[in-house]
Amino acid sequence: MPALPRIRRCRLGLLLPALLCLLLGTPGSPGAEAPQEYQVKGAMVFNMAKYIEWPADAFSGGGAPLLVCSLGRGPFTAALEQYRGKTVLGHPLQVKRVQPGEELGECHLLVVSGVEKRYLAGILDQARKRSLLTVSDHPDFARLGGMIGLVEIEGRVRFEINVKAAQQARVKISSQLLKLARIIREGD
């Protein structure tokens, strides 16, 4: 990998500690409310997007929006809304709720939450064909072919990455992000 310009290295150096704080933050208590959990997950999705490289043809232009689509029930969409308009790699972030079976055409990042397991294979197949980064808190998401699975370990939200799924979708995940993840191989 070519050396990053000094400014880019500095920005990476500032973002990684913030991501680590989210990952290693205070453990959740048994009575913690779901919205707080989803605020953490929303922040993780937003910060992870900064470490993703989509194929050149994924955006119509340099300032085109990065569209985060949220599929399923639950508070994930509301947690992502606070990042609407913020910039990720030069792209203003937009958030859109989508329904099962709806066309994912313009989406760049698909967050799947509260969807029954029987629908996952079809959703992931559609996403893979569109170079769509997939993220979910569904149990075993990365093992089932999703790219980034948010998991709770010892009361903290962590993440697993399925590198093969990302490669199939032509999505590159930064080595900085990979260092923080548990790498999953489908079927493990």
pLDDT in tens, 117-132: 888 888 998 888 888 9
The answer on pLDDT for 22 being more than 60 is no
Give the integer Cα–Cα distance in Å for 54 and 139: 25
Confidence band of 175 (pLDDT split at 50, 70, 90): very high
Structural domain including 149 reads 6-183
For 61-79, how does the pLDDT look when each residue is reduced to its tens digit (9 = 90+)? 888 999 999 998 788 899 9
Spacing of C-alpha 124 from chain mean position: 14
- Give the Å distances, CA to CA, from 47 to 22, 81, 121, 155: 10, 14, 26, 20
Mean model confidence pLDDT for the chain = 83
Other Cβ atoms within 10 Å of 44 Cβ, number: 21
**Among the listed residues 184, 177, 151, the one whose alpha carbon sits nearest the alpha carbon of residue 37:** 151
The CATH number that applies at residue 65 is: 3.40.50
For residue 188, tell me if it sits in a domain. no
Predicted TM-score (pTM) of the model is 0.81
Count the domains in the chain.
Answer: 1
The answer on pLDDT for 12 being more than 70 is no
Residue 31 pLDDT: 43
